[in-house]
Structure formats: structure tokens, C-alpha cells
Amino acid sequence: MNRYMKAFLLLALSVILVAGCSSKKTGEKGAGGKTTENSVTIVGSNGEVTLDKPAKKVVVLEWTYAEDLLALGVQPAGMADIQEYHNWVNIDAELSDDVVDVGGRQEPNLEAIAAIEPDLIIGVSFRHDAMLKDLEKIAPTVIFNPYPEDESIDLYKEMTTTFNEIAKAVDKTDEAEKVLTHLDEKYEEAKAEIEKADLKTKDVILTLAYTGPQAPEIRVFTPNSMASQILEKIGLKNVHVPDQFEVFGSSTFNVEGLTKYEDANYLYTVQEEDNVYEKQLKKNAVWKNLNFVKEDRLYNLGSDTWLYGGPLSAETLLNRIVDTMVNK
């Protein structure tokens, strides 16, 4: 089983396991139990968490939240799974060599976290709800849910809301506003570039492919995904409409399922070591006869383009889309 499949199955299982045990606690006070003049209250899926003062030493247990801190000019004191972060996340902001690795994202090392003596721990609901009480024994802990079950909340909106909460926690709200304003300006610039490009169509699907248990599987991003919202912001139209609400922001197809979208442009990422297009699909009759293949409307965004994450990953994605579609 390849690492895409492992990651996705683990994610789905984690969400199911913690659905019944997510914290309902609200109104947390600072370490002394009282709200102070310098205190700051942040809101996560585990309710309100109040710090006596803005956090200086923050441990992050999910890559997106490390990226959020970096976007604000703050280095995390500790972080989970640093090596894999470097393998997957492609952003300009550099993670300092001084950041302490606190183990895996799924099962972080509590002793390593405690040794840092953090002011705040930031976790993600589908991994860390079950260990919230243990984390709170070390430091105030806020948990965010990047995959809300509320269909009215798209995943881009969730990303910006969480980013602003983290900015509040480290007293960087002005910086957060500048980051998001810059991102909006980049969308407008990209939209103008796309408008000038000689594209046969602005209809697209955005995909991530990997080897499945029986055959290649193609994850097609849905309109509620962060990546799809970025497509729309720069003037492209995601034509994939799922049959049901997809909480993770994508549907999974085999190659035959792509036939309904063959008149759209095909944007994709694929890992070099698991390039299903060069291996399993190169001689596949269905794949070869899809219109976007025959007309060479395939746009490779690169294996290091992270289709999730925060505002810096969003900027990387929009830059890759423009560079690929305009310059092909």
C-alpha cells in the first residue's frame, strides 16, 4: 500500500474514532484559572482556550499549523514529523534547524513536548482529540478541525479562520491580515494571467493520483476543497460536482470515472516514485482516448505541490497553476 493510501485511510479511520469523543469543554481560563489584562482567548473545536498572555513557545502537531506560524514570522518551538514535512510541503518560509521534533503526527512524544515547556500546544481533531487530556496536563491545548461536517463551511474558509485564531494566540493579527491581503492580491494577478492565456477552456479538474489496491486511483478535488476554491479565485472552473458531500474535499475515481470530465483541462500532482501515468496508465486504452490526453491538455503541477495546508501552500499552488497553464 503506497503512502497516499496509508495516509488517507488513517485519516478516515481517525475521524471515525474521535467523532464520539471530541471535547465539549469551553471557557478555559489561563494557567492560573483567571482572565488577566494580557490574556487572549482562542477558539478551536474543543471550545475556548484562554492564555494568560500571547504564546511565545508553541508546539504544533500538524504541518498546516506549523506553516501558519511561519507565515506569521514565528518559528514553532516544537513540531511533529519534521522530515516528512520537508518531503511534502513546498513553501518559501524556512523551518529553523532549532525546531524540536516531537515525534509522529499521529502519536507525538509527550515527554519531548513536555521538555520544551510550551505556552501552547496546537493539535488537529482527527489525530489528537483522544489525547487531549494528556496534552492539557503539559500546556494549554487548542484543537482545530480542518474537515468540518457543516456543508456551509468550505475548507478554504476553515483554513483562514484557523489561521486568524493562531495569529491571535501569538499576537500577530496585523501580520495575518497582511498575509491574507497579499494572497488576495496574488489571486487577482493570477486571474489576469489566466485571462490572457490562450486556453481552449477554463473548465478544469484537479487531481492527485496514486496506486490503489487493485488499480490506479485518482483523487478529484470537490468544490468545497481549499484547492478548488483557489481555482475559482483565479478564474478557473472546477467541473467536478460530487454525488454526495465529501468531508475531506475529494472524490476517488478509477480511470473510467474520468470520462465525464474529458473536455476539461486536467491538472494533477503525482509522486515521482508512484507515477501511475508513466507506469500503469501509459498504455491504458481508456486513458489514451480521453480528450484531454489526446489534445495534450494535461498540466503537471509537480510532485512537491501540496494541495492542502495554509496560506503559503495556497500561494505555491496558485503560482504552479499559472506557471504550468500559461507557459505550457
pLDDT digits (tens, 9 = 90+) for 207-221: 999 999 988 999 999
Region of 34 please: left (phi>0), alpha (psi -120 to 50) or beta: beta
pLDDT of residue 16: 40
Verify that 46 and 121 share a domain, yes or no: yes
Domain ends where: 94, 120, 145? 145
Verify that 77 and 127 share a domain, yes or no: yes
Verify that 194 and 316 share a domain, yes or no: yes
The verdict on residue 160 lying in a domain is: no
pLDDT of residue 27: 39
Domain ends where: 87, 119, 145? 145
Verify that 128 and 195 share a domain, yes or no: no
Domain ends where: 128, 145, 162? 145
**What is the domain extent for residue 193?**
181-327
The verdict on residue 241 lying in a domain is: yes
pLDDT of residue 36: 67
Backbone angles phi, psi at 241, to 5 degrees: -115, 110
> Do residues 165 and 146 lie in contact, with contact meaning Cβ atoms separated by under 8 Å?
no
pLDDT of residue 309: 94
d(CA 137, CA 54): 19
Verify that 104 and 32 share a domain, yes or no: yes
Query: CATH no. for residue 211?
Result: 3.40.50.1980
Q: How far is CA 122 from CA 159, 168, 227, in A?
A: 14, 13, 23
The verdict on residue 286 lying in a domain is: yes
Verify that 95 and 230 share a domain, yes or no: no
Q: How far is CA 254 from CA 218, 237, 260, 287, in A?
A: 6, 22, 12, 10
The verdict on residue 221 lying in a domain is: yes
In the chain, the amino acid numbered 141 is T
Verify that 212 and 315 share a domain, yes or no: yes
Q: What are the 10-residue block averages of pLDDT along the chain, 328 residues in total?
A: 51 44 40 66 96 97 97 97 90 94 95 97 95 96 95 94 98 98 97 92 96 93 96 97 93 95 96 92 95 96 92 95 89
pTM for the whole thing?
A: 0.87
Verify that 212 and 282 share a domain, yes or no: yes
The verdict on residue 63 lying in a domain is: yes
The verdict on residue 262 lying in a domain is: yes
d(CA 187, CA 182): 9
User: Which element (helix H / strand E) includes 164?
Assistant: helix 155-169
The set of residues, in sequence order, having a beta carbon less than 8 Å from that of 25 and lying 6+ positions away, is 46, 47
Verify that 58 and 192 share a domain, yes or no: no
Verify that 231 and 138 share a domain, yes or no: no
The verdict on residue 6 lying in a domain is: no
Verify that 132 and 264 share a domain, yes or no: no
User: Which element (helix H / strand E) includes 207?
Assistant: strand 203-211
d(CA 85, CA 118): 21
- Counting the structural domains of the chain, the total is 2
In the chain, the amino acid numbered 14 is S
pLDDT of residue 266: 97
End-to-end CA distance of the chain: 33
Verify that 320 and 205 share a domain, yes or no: yes
The verdict on residue 216 lying in a domain is: yes
